[in-house]
């Protein structure tokens, strides 16, 4: 129930009153059951298999023909796909690849409808016992049927399949166990090779999920066909949003089967659903302090630019002031380019540390590098000491440090909570044994995540299994979950799709995906911009909350827990608006993974073929990290209009 908890926490924090005075509004779907909210949930939230089964159950018991309804949406989507490619139905050659479960059943009923509409449809079954009624309907409609048992059988049909216009992939859906095996696995493996090498390959329409993906965790461990379009039955599943599975879903349409979305919280949500929660309202009587101060300990002798990029990003993101703490000559350069920045130690509403600071492996032991690393270590210690109840511990930490090394005034950090974004070279300064990181966001890319997991594991007594970059890329959610469990920090794992995992460790994690970036954003310095922007969002939020909450609430233990729930939302806002700003700068459309408005089988079809025809997408133009910064204000403006 992480999203209900996160939403309730967000509402309490923004209302500024203790939990005892706040009425819990419950499940996020419960809060607003309007049609537009339902559509928003259907296109931006995903439920685990066990929840999907629980949602289907009451409808099946009530005799609702879910399979027929799903099959109708699938058939109509196939028609739209053909239409968008200029292929007339009577000329269309469709292959329906059918497995032995209900997913195959969906495919068979869809095949029957398409055959009735005039298409030539061949069933390629990998099971001797496909869905009986579905098979009867498809054969009665006039579909040919081939059943595969051996590799030779596969070889005989491969050319026919590859020559078709559309493959309907109905081999396995949410009932899959492990990666595809047997004749199904071999068939998909060979088709996959053809998909990569053949000059012509059919469009692929996946039924519910591309067969072979890990439905709940988005893993892609075996052979899987890249779908052009996936028709999700009832609701989105995590694999539709989570990388790497999301990369093979193509575009997505949800067949709206009237599931009761209030039965359980979603397991994963899209950042778009939550990013605007923490856009702090602007007020006519704002001062530069009330809008928040973002403090940055970034950049170094080796990476001067990172200081500039992170500071410029933060100062474009709506805070009242940006404070920079760093080596002397970085400050000089910074001031020349960002005269608005305030230099030197002092207070901040949130901190960004580590971007452009060398980690222990790359530090040249120069005075500047050491000063930066020491300042960050001090800040982390200071931050964590304040998480302790023992006031003595707090005192001793600050007293040990020479005043000029303290980038923050200690008294100001105690109350209220000051979040921290820990990036790049600061990641190896984390000590999860002594540090309570529940109000921090760590921002590794895959390589940093693997390194950090290995370092943290080697420090613990847990069994040592080396994590590779490949492991993280293939299992980003599992990796982020592990890092969250080890550190308690919200994990923002960067990539083409950025995965965020966070919330209080004692509770179910909040899992969010930000997928609106474009690949032109894979450019040096883009991560520094993200860190600065995220830090600024944290600064405005923490300042707003601090100023609008009652002292009783801030003294209440619930306040810290609520804040921990807010951290993944703040991280999601950073990643979401970073992606948005980058896409604005590049002009790129979403290349794939567009989730279309839901298709309700009882209502007129949306103009899906028109949507699909617009797949002539603008790939955008190359950008540099500075271009992302320039577009942050426009992205923020959109955020405030949504909020
Ligand atoms: N309930 C409803 O009314 C509705 C359900 N809906 C639809 O039902 C789907 C779920 O159906 P489901 O539960 O039958 O499971 P499903 O995805 O077909 O998988 C089981 C099949 O896959 C096979 N298989 C498994 N693992 C495998 C592997 N590693 N490698 C190879 N094969 C493997 C397994 O083979 P077996 O293990 O039995 O040999 C069996 O044949 C759902 O995704 C949606 O499309 C919609 O119509 C809406 C209404
Ligand atoms: N293929 C991609 N598509 C979209 N965004 C990407 C892609 N690859 C990387 N990014 C984004 O670019 C940024 C790169 O961050 P990072 O690797 O830390 O760069 P740097 O250290 O140079 O600043 C991250 O926000 C990441 O999510």
Query: Same domain for 429 and 497?
Result: yes
Better-scored residue on pLDDT, 45 or 619:
45
Q: Whose CA is nearest to atom 28 of ligand 1?
A: 180
Helices then strands, counting H and E runs in the chain, come out as 23, 18
How remote is the CA of residue 579 from the centroid of ligand 2, in Å?
10
Q: What is the CATH number of the domain that holds 67?
A: 3.40.50.10260
Quote the number of domains for the chain: 2
- State the DSSP string of 412-481: HHHSS---EEE-GGGGGG--TTT---TTEEE---HHHHHHHHHHHHHHSSS---PPPHHHHHH-HHHHHH
How remote is the CA of residue 522 from the centroid of ligand 2, in Å?
4
Q: Whose CA is nearest to atom 7 of ligand 1?
A: 103
Q: What is the mean pLDDT of the chain?
A: 88
Report how far residue 515's alpha carbon sits from residue 500's, in angstroms, rounded to the nearest whole number.
11
Ligand closest to Cα of 61 equals 1
Contact 232, 483 (CB under 8 A): no
Q: Within a domain: residue 638? A: no
Last residue of a domain, one of 263, 295, 321: 263
Q: Within a domain: residue 175? A: yes
Contact 513, 268 (CB under 8 A): yes
End-to-end CA distance of the chain: 23
| Ranges 382-391, 420-429, 483-492: which has the least confidence | 382-391
Q: Whose CA is nearest to atom 47 of ligand 1?
A: 67
Confidence of residue 399 (pLDDT cuts 50, 70, 90): very low
Establish whether 165 is an annotated binding residue: no
The DSSP H or E segment spanning 152 is helix 151-163
Ligand closest to Cα of 129 equals 1
- Asked if the model's pLDDT at residue 571 lies above 70, the reply is yes
Query: Same domain for 434 and 299?
Result: yes
Dmax of the chain from CA atoms? 85
Query: Among the atoms of ligand 1, which is closest to the Cα of residue 209?
Result: 43
**What share of the chain has pLDDT > 90, as a percent?**
69
Q: Within a domain: residue 376? A: yes
Ligand closest to Cα of 580 equals 2
| Ranges 58-67, 80-89, 461-470: which has the least confidence | 461-470
Q: Is the CB of 233 under 6 A from ligand 1?
A: yes
Q: Is the CB of 99 under 6 A from ligand 1?
A: yes
Query: Same domain for 434 and 522?
Result: yes
Establish whether 50 is an annotated binding residue: no
Confidence of residue 610 (pLDDT cuts 50, 70, 90): low
Q: What is the pLDDT of residues 153-193, one digit of tens each?
A: 999 999 999 999 999 999 999 999 999 999 999 999 999 99
Query: Same domain for 210 and 240?
Result: yes
How remote is the CA of residue 585 from the centroid of ligand 2, in Å?
15
Last residue of a domain, one of 583, 617, 636: 583
How remote is the CA of residue 521 from the centroid of ligand 2, in Å?
6
How remote is the CA of residue 636 from the centroid of ligand 1, in Å?
43
Query: Same domain for 294 and 257?
Result: no
Q: What is the CATH number of the domain that holds 384?
A: 3.40.1190.20
Q: Whose CA is nearest to atom 22 of ligand 2?
A: 524
CA nearest 442: which of 512, 502, 491?
Answer: 491
Query: Same domain for 339 and 226?
Result: no
Q: Which pLDDT value is given to residue 87?
A: 95
Query: Same domain for 80 and 215?
Result: yes
Last residue of a domain, one of 552, 583, 614: 583
Average pLDDT over residues 16-31: 51
- Ligand 2 pocket, Cβ-based, cut-off 6 angstroms: 445, 494-496, 498, 517-519, 521-522, 524-528, 530, 578
Q: Give a three-class secondary structure readout of 271-336.
A: HHHHHHHHCCCCCCCCCCCCCCEEEEECCCCCCHHHHHHHHHHHHCCCCCEEEECCCHHHHHHHHH
Query: Same domain for 176 and 219?
Result: yes
- Asked if the model's pLDDT at residue 15 lies above 80, the reply is yes
Query: Same domain for 106 and 233?
Result: yes
Contact 292, 320 (CB under 8 A): yes
Most confident of 69-83, 282-296, 603-617: 69-83
How remote is the CA of residue 475 from the centroid of ligand 2, in Å?
18
Q: What is the pLDDT of residues 198-250, one digit of tens each?
A: 889 999 999 999 999 999 999 999 999 999 999 999 999 999 999 999 999 99
Look up the ipTM and state it.
0.95
Two structure tokens written together for 491? 């994990």
Q: Whose CA is nearest to atom 24 of ligand 1?
A: 176
Q: What is the pLDDT of residues 309-368, one digit of tens each?
A: 999 999 999 999 999 998 888 899 999 999 999 998 888 999 999 999 998 887 766 767
Ligand 1 site-directed mutation target among 48, 176, 214, 239, most atoms within 8 Å of CB: 176
222 is in which domain, residue-wise? 48-263
Establish whether 445 is an annotated binding residue: yes
Ligand 1 site-directed mutation target among 173, 178, 213, 256, most atoms within 8 Å of CB: 173
Q: Is the CB of 244 under 6 A from ligand 1?
A: no
């Amino acid at each position: 129930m992480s999203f209900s908890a996160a939403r309730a926490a967000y509402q309490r924090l923004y209302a500024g009153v203790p939990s005892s005075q706040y009425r819990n509004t419950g499940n996020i779907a419960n809060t607003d059951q309007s049609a537009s909210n339902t559509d928003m949930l259907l296109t931006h939230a995903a439920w685990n298999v066990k929840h999907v089964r629980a949602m289907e159950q009451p409808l099946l018991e009530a005799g609702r023909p879910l399979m027929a309804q799903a099959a109708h949406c699938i058939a109509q989507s196939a028609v739209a796909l053909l239409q968008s490619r200029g292929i007339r139905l009577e000329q269309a050659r469709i292959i329906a690849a059918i497995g032995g479960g209900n997913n195959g059943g969906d495919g068979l009923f869809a095949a029957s409808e398409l055959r009735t509409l005039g298409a030539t449809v061949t069933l390629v079954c990998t099971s001797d016992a496909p869905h009986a009624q579905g098979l009867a309907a498809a054969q009665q409609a006039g579909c040919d049927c081939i059943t595969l048992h051996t590799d030779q059988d596969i070889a005989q049909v491969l050319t026919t399949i590859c020559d078709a216009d559309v493959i309907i992939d109905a081999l396995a859906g949410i009932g899959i166990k492990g990666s595809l095996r047997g004749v199904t696995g071999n068939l998909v493996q060979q088709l996959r090779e053809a998909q990569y090498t053949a000059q012509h390959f059919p469009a692929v329409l996946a039924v519910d999920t591309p067969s072979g993906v890990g439905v709940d965790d988005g893993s892609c461990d075996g052979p899987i066909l890249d779908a052009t379009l996936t028709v999700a039955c009832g609701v989105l599943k995590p694999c539709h949003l989570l990388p790497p599975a999301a990369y093979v879903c193509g575009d997505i349409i949800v067949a709206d089967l009237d599931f009761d979305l209030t039965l359980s919280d979603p397991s994963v949500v899209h950042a778009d659903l939550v990013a605007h929660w923490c856009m702090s309202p602007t007020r006519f009587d704002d001062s530069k302090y009330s809008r928040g101060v973002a403090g940055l300990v970034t950049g170094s002798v080796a990476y001067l630019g990172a200081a500039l990029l992170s500071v410029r990003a933060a100062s474009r993101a709506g805070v009242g002031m940006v404070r920079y703490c760093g080596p002397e000559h970085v400050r000089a350069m910074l001031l020349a380019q960002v005269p608005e920045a305030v230099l030197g130690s002092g207070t901040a509403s949130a901190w960004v540390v580590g971007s452009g600071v060398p980690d222990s492996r790359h530090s040249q032991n120069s005075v500047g590098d050491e000063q930066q690393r020491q300042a960050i270590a001090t800040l982390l210690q200071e931050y964590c000491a304040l998480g302790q109840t023992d006031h003595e511990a707090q005192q001793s930490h600050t007293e040990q440090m020479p005043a000029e090394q303290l980038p923050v005034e200690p008294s100001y950090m105690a109350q209220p909570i000051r979040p921290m974004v820990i990036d790049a070279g600061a990641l190896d300064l984390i000590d999860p044994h002594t540090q309570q990181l529940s109000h921090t966001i760590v921002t590794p890319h895959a390589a940093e995540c693997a390194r950090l997991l290995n370092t943290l594991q080697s420090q613990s007594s847990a069994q040592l299994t080396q994590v590779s970059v490949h492991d993280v890329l293939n299992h980003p959610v599992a990796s982020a979950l592990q890092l969250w469990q080890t550190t308690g920090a919200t994990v923002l794992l960067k990539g083409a799709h950025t995965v965020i995992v966070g919330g209080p460790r004692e509770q179910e994690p909040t899992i969010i995906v930000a997928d609106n970036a474009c690949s032109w954003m894979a450019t040096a310095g883009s991560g520094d911009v993200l860190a600065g922007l995220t830090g600024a969002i944290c600064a405005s939020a923490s300042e707003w909350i601090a100023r609008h909450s009652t002292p009783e609430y801030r003294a209440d233990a619930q306040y810290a827990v609520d804040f921990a729930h807010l951290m993944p939302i703040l991280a999601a806002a950073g990643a979401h608006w970073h992606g948005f700003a980058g896409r604005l700068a590049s002009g790129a459309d979403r290349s794939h993974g567009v989730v279309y408005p839901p298709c309700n089988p009882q209502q007129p079809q949306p103009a899906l073929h028109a949507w699909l025809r617009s797949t002539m997408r603008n790939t955008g133009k190359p950008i540099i990290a500075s271009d992302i910064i320039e577009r942050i204000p426009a992205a923020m403006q959109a955020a405030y209009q949504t909020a």
